[in-house]
Amino acid sequence: MLTREQILARKTGAGKATLPDGEEVAVRALTRDEVIVVQEIKNLADQDNYIIAKGMIDPVMSVEDVAVWASTGSAGDLVAVSEEIQRLSGLDQGAAKSRISAIRDGT
């Protein structure tokens, strides 16, 4: 069984997202608090920008940076990064609605 100290020392999962051209960026899972913030964002594009800005750890980008990337870059790049962050966070296809609903409902 985990101790209190072990639980508090746990970090979010991390990995790499591979862009369509084969380049990679480092990403991590979102925290529960970050998922709750995502749920408060009404605009889908703003949600995705927030997910990428919080979950991409190398290179680090602000929400504003991601918005510029979204307006000028390849959609495939952003989709690859967003999907990997969501997968690491347990929010990928099928899990997303049930997990987000559980977080929203406090279960």
Is residue 101 included in any domain, yes or no? yes
Amino acid at 17: A
Please report whether residue 9 resides in a domain: no
Question: Per the domain annotation, does 4 fall within a domain?
Answer: no
> Residue 10 falls within a domain, yes or no?
no
Backbone angles phi, psi at 20, to 5 degrees: -55, -30
Model pLDDT for residues 24-48, shown as the tens digit of each residue: 999 999 999 999 999 999 999 999 9
Identify the domain containing residue 60 by its residue range.
18-105
* pLDDT over 70, % of the chain: 86
Instruction: Find all residues with CB under 8 Å of 48, minimum gap 6, and list them.
Output: 70, 78, 82
Looking at the structure of the chain, the number of domains it has is 1
**More confident: 8 or 62:** 62
Q: What is the pLDDT of residue 103?
A: 53
Band (pLDDT 50/70/90 cuts) for residue 12 is confident
User: H/E/C letters for each residue in 63-74?
Assistant: HHHHHHHHHHCC
**Residue 61: inside a domain, yes or no?**
yes
Encode pLDDT of 67-89 as tens digits: 999 999 999 999 999 999 999 99
**Within-domain flag for 13:** no
Q: What is the pLDDT of residue 96?
A: 45
Residue 32 has a pLDDT of 94
Residue 37 within a domain: yes
